[in-house]
Structure 1
Amino acid sequence: MDMRGIESVLNECERLRELVYPESYILKRLKDSSNVAIWGTGEHTEHLLKVLDIDKINLKCFIDSNQSKWGKEFHNFKIYPPKAITELQIDSVIISSCTYSSEISAQILRNFPNCKYVDLYSELEYNRPFYYVVDDLKPLYEFYTETCLLIKIDLESLKVSIDNDMLRKLDEFIEDIDVDRKGFEKNIKLTSLEYVNTYLRNSDEDCNCETKKKIKVAFFIQNPNTWSSTESVYEAMIEDDRADVKVIQLPFIHRYSTEYNGSRNLLLKKQIAFIPWYLYNIEEDRPDIVIYHSPYDATRPSMYSVESIKKLGIKIIYIPYCQELFGGDIAKWFFNNDIHRDAWKIYVRSEKYKKMFKKNSLYNGENLVVTGHPKFDSMAKLKDFEVNEYKRNLVKNKTVFLWNPHFYANDGVSNSTFNTWKSFILSLFEKRDDLFLIIRPHPLLLGGLIKLNNGDTTEVDNFRKAIKNMKNVILDESDDYRESFVLSDALISDTSSFLLTYMPTCKPILHLIGENTIKLNEDGQDIASVCYKGSTKEDILNYIDMVVDNKDPLYHLRISKLREHLTYFDCNCGYRIKEDMLNSFSESLSEL
């Protein structure tokens, strides 16, 4: 069995632990140091002393260039000028400054050449004050350490042995997490040990001739909430004898995510056989085609980046996970990633979209193929979707609204109106027992709020508590939005893909607009033009009354726009994509 995937996890654990726990790195660098000084006595050092136990180092004093601090005490140690390094025979200095680290290190090299120093900013990957980086990377380190436990459980289940050194490293990182192994193991059992064992066996042996003749297709399933973007393609592909299909489960790595391995849970629930990313050797398996549903390389392990796959000579397919209605400065996120340049084919919803893409992208869009979007295959069959009977009875005889608030970004770019309308909307529904509210937040909203509040969960806890205490409000955090689409009579939404995705229900849509609402591209503007506008309390109240009165003056305009933006709405988009993909690949072979 090839161990490169597991080795990459262990290497990433090593890298992240050094960044998340700088004390271990500092202690290693200060080994055999007898007289240590810390240079800096400001906020940066206050943060440093929260993660560094000074009893573990031979600290003699603090150094500071600020003359007004000389002679004073800081954490019970005296503050000296830089020249004291010689006078006190300091042999090691910890540089505690982000802004001036390079200047201080240059000064030490110039004036105190025999004194070694530790500079976190030149030696480690800190591109800003370390305490911000630590805060950002802790969840990522927790993910990788939990992955170590996943690996160990998977290997034990598969009866695969590994060398003692690798096992020791796995155990070492597992010790860093606080998790109930039995409970953890119960939830992550492989859906098909036979499937993975077959893959591992075929990796070590020559595949049979029948399999070699087939076109090898690998689905990279990363985010459970976007499974609908590839579901009908997968279903069509596994029914085609020309294809040898594998599902590779990838994590979704995002600073706001509360569930990095959500795709694993989704595949288990749907009983779809898969190979965890760390057990899959893509270099050895060499699929002919890989299918992505997310354009963001930063959200997946580097070995599965578009650049890495391109280097292997594998053909790349991209099926957009959302409906890309955003314009302005963030259009680059949706039209100018590596995948938009390097994909062999990108399957899109309409000719109208294709023209809009070419206008907003740096690339020519020649790799775009209009097949209709597979997400709408399931929407075309929405009336057949099985709804939980308890929920159906819960909303019975009430007018049901679906509220879809977007998430907040920490870079000032956001279109969420959640904080603007949260209290008003909850208060409104609390007073109206003839109404029912389903809240389906963007998957990154609540985790993002906790992150933006520096880990404080109070705001989110209070929000959840308020919902729990209301009889006519529920929170939908499931992987599948379709149940909420079926149960609802109307949508209230920030700018998001839902403005288009909800349209096939033929139900009214209120588009919430705030001060920071992101600009829309041409398609987005066109779609928003047939939605009701919500920028005031009066707008929201009037919309609710309109829906209760069973009125919808924009209905016919909305249906006409839907036909413009969805070239195909016939349950066959996934089939068309499968046919184009396999036929085009076969043709490319015949041309060689």
Structure 2
Amino acid sequence: MRKIIKEIKKIHSISDYKKLCKKVFNKIDYVFNERLVGNIQAYYYLSRQRNKTERENDKIKIIFLCQELSLWGKIEPVFEKMKEYPEIETIVLAIPHHDMTNMDSPEHYTDVNRAYDYFGKRDDSVINARISETEWFDLKELKPDYVFYQRPYDHYLPIPYKSKNVMKYSRICYLPYGYFDSYIFECVINRNFMRYVSIFFADNMDSFSLVKKQFHQNIKSQKSILTGYPILEEVIKRSDQYVKKEKQWNKQIMWTPRWTIDDSLGGSHFFMYKDNFVEYMEENSDDYFVCRPHPLAFENFVKEGLMTLEEVNEYIKKYDECKNGEIDSSTDYLEKFLNTDVLITDISGIVIEFFLLGKPIIFCGSYAGMTESYQEVFSTFYVCNSWEEIVSILNKLALNNDSLKEKRVAVLNKIKNQHRGATNRIIDSLNNNDV
């Protein structure tokens, strides 16, 4: 009401009045169609899925949507483990990337389907979602029992694969693509998407409780299950198996800047430190430097007018021309983590993965909206508010002066036990029809 009153005060002409009316009616239309009608549809189809007494397939057919390869590692342990079960059939539906620089065009997808190219070389059970420029594979034909989504954002997906369409014939499953350690990550539990989800596999107690509250109106058809995070279980396993290689460099330093400068979403220190990082890399030729921006960072910086495409390419070129550095965009970033000695980072859902390796973390700025359970983890970070502070900590660590090591190890040993068995808990809940 206050917003409407403010708008009314701005009216000085018939044109202003028409603009206000349009805003009000658009809002009413959104509330009615997107919220009310969407909630009714969700309740109806979720109930219908729950009341199914017989499967349409001999095996449990589970589809994994893959559009962003950088996020595949979050669910890959579950996908690979399911292959060991003869009663389960798994299929990957590979969807081309949606170009953020052309968000105004809802059907703008890259011509190259990187996900299909990746899986086509290693897995037979993959389907190219794109049949032609105007035609998409009909997922409904597969009669899936469950469909796993990578992200809770329908606006990146082609219309046939949006959750409100898929939930009409299959149960939707969702495992967060980022560890829930801050309430700014409620975006990974998007309400508009979550109303269509049948099963949410919670990475920790915070996300479990939050989603359980969201599901309270449809509790019989929607389940929030506390399973732990499969990627953390994978980190633990690979860390235990890791054999240190003979180092070419004195140490490896990795920087993972965030994708947005919006402080309400955690903010990014990329523009504050991007030149410092390059200069430090050039001055310390005995060390190796990895810059791994969020997968959407450069696209978003261009979209927001913070950088031009030419400036992005010029920045990447600086690393290409330097023998002791790289811009990393590899699918398997865990391999980079294992070889990294120190992580410099903004707020990020992957920090917890590096933390479980027991290595020092230099955190830039403050951790906005941190959950209570994550405060113990955060207390083991070296928090810096300037480049000079970052260099000071790096110098101390180079002299093996790691004052937070003992505390870090104690905290990570507690967390490890919460995630061991996460993959099996997810599969067992589906296989035993507990949901």
- TM-score grouping bracket, smaller chain normalisation: 0.7 to 0.9
Distance in 2 of aligned mates of 1:356 and 1:334: 12
* Structure 1 residue 548 displacement after superposition: 1.1
CA contact (8 A) 2:149 2:172 kept: yes
Per-residue CA deviations over 1:411-443 (Å, capped at 9, x if unaligned) read 975511000011122212221223221111111
Residue 458 (structure 1) aligned with residue 315 (structure 2): no
Ranked by relative contact order (alpha carbons within 8 Å, sequence separation 6 or more), the top structure is 2
CA contact (8 A) 1:499 1:528 kept: no
Corresponding letter in the other structure for 1:403: W
The alpha carbon displacement at 1:403 in A equals 0.7
- Indicate the SS of the match to 1:505: coil
Task: Identify the match of residue 493 of structure 1 among 332, 342, 345.
Answer: 345
1:232 aligns to what SS in structure 2? helix
Tell me if 1:322 matches 2:178. Answer: yes
After superposition, the Cα gap between the structure-2 partners of 1:531 and 1:419, relative to the gap in structure 1 and judged at 3 Å, is same
| Per-residue Cα deviation, 1:147-190 (whole angstroms, up to 9, x for no partner) | xxxxxxxxxxxxxxxxxxxxxxxxxxxxxxxxxxxxxxxxxxxx
Q: How many residues align?
A: 375
Q: Is the 8 A contact 1:351 1:567 kept in 2?
A: no
Distance 1:411 1:418, change over 3 A: closer
Match of 2:326, SS state, is strand
Query: Could you say which residue in structure 2 is the equivalent of 1:186?
Result: none
Unaligned 5+ segments in structure 2 are 1-11, 27-54, 103-108, 132-136
Provide the residue aligned with 2:292 in structure 1. Answer: 440
> Cα gap change, 1:562/1:356 in structure 2, threshold over 3 Å: closer, same or farther?
farther
**Residue 583, structure 1, aligned to residue 429, structure 2:** no
Q: Percent identity?
A: 24
State which structure, 1 or 2, has the greater radius of gyration over its C-alpha atoms.
1
1:225 alignment partner in structure 2 = 70
CA 1:545–1:356 in structure 2 vs 1: closer, same or farther (change >3 Å)?
A: farther
Shift of 1:569: 4.2
* 1:520 corresponds to: 370
Matched, 1:559 2:404: no
Q: Which residue of 1 aligns with 2:9?
A: none
What's the C-alpha RMSD, in Å, of the aligned pairs? 3.5
Q: Any idea what the Cα deviations from partners look like across 1:224-281, whole Å, max 9, x if unmatched? A: 0111111111112122111122221123425159967332233134335311224532
- Taking the aligned partners of 1:455 and 1:549, their CA distance within structure 2 comes to 37
Task: Work out which of the residue numbers 546, 549, 552 in structure 1 matches 2:399.
Answer: 549
Q: What pairs up with 1:107-506 in 2 under 5 angstroms?
A: 212-256=57-101, 261-278=113-130, 280-312=137-169, 314-327=170-183, 330-351=184-205, 353-355=207-209, 362-364=214-216, 367-383=223-239, 396-408=248-260, 413=265, 415-453=267-305, 456-506=308-358
- Aligned to 2:289, the other structure's residue is in SS state strand
8 A Cα contact 1:349 1:371, kept in partner: yes
CA contact (8 A) 1:216 1:245 kept: yes
1:71 alignment counterpart: none
- Note closer, same or farther for the CA distance 1:545–1:315 as it changes in structure 2 (3 Å cut): same
- What SS does structure 1 have at the residue aligned with 2:255? strand
Partner of 1:558, secondary structure, is helix
Unaligned residue ranges in structure 1 (runs of 5+)? 1-99, 107-120, 126-209
Distance 1:241 1:466 in 2: 50
3-state secondary structure, aligned to 1:401: strand
Instruction: Give the TM-score normalised by the residue count of structure 1.
Output: 0.57
CA offsets 1:521-541 (integer angstroms, 9 cap, x no match)? 334444322211011223201
- Cα offset for 1:484? 1.0
For 1:205-233, what per-residue CA distance to the aligned partner results, in whole angstroms no more than 9, with x for missing partners?
Answer: xxxxx993211211112210111111111
Distance 1:524 1:252, change over 3 A: farther
1:502 partner SS: helix
Given that residues 175 and 202 in structure 2 are in contact (C-alpha distance below 8 angstroms), is that contact kept between their aligned partners in structure 1? yes
CA contact (8 A) 2:215 2:223 kept: no
Contact kept? 1:266, 1:479, Cα under 8 Å:
no
Stretch of structure 1 that moved more, 252-261 or 552-561: 252-261
Q: Distance in 2 between matches of 1:262 and 1:409?
A: 28
Per the alignment, residue 8 of structure 2 pairs with: none
Contact 1:350 1:565 in 2 (8 A): no
CA 501–552 in structure 1, closer or farther in 2 if over 3 Å, else same: same
Q: 1:357 to 1:530 in 2, by over 3 A?
A: farther
The range that moved more, 486-495 or 441-450, is 441-450
Checking the alignment, whether the CA contact within 8 Å between 2:239 and 2:357 is kept in structure 1 is: no
CA contact 1:404–1:439 (8 Å) conserved in 2:
yes
Q: Are the counterparts in 1 of residues 178 and 188 from structure 2 also a CA contact under 8 Å? A: no
Distance 1:363 1:552, change over 3 A: farther
* Equivalent residues of 1:512, 1:535 under 8 A apart: yes
| TM-score, normalised relative to structure 2 | 0.75
Q: 2-side partners of 1:467 and 1:500: how far apart? A: 26
SS of residue paired to 1:230: helix
| Matched position secondary structure for 1:438 | strand
| SS of match in other structure, 1:311 | coil
| Cα 1:290/1:520, change in 2 over 3 Å | same
Residues 365-374 or 477-486, more deviating? 365-374
User: 1:207 — aligned with what?
Assistant: none
* 1:536 aligned partner: 386
User: CA–CA distance in 1 between the matches of 2:264 and 2:59?
Assistant: 48
Task: Mark the CA change 1:518 to 1:351 in structure 2 (over 3 Å): closer, same or farther.
Answer: closer
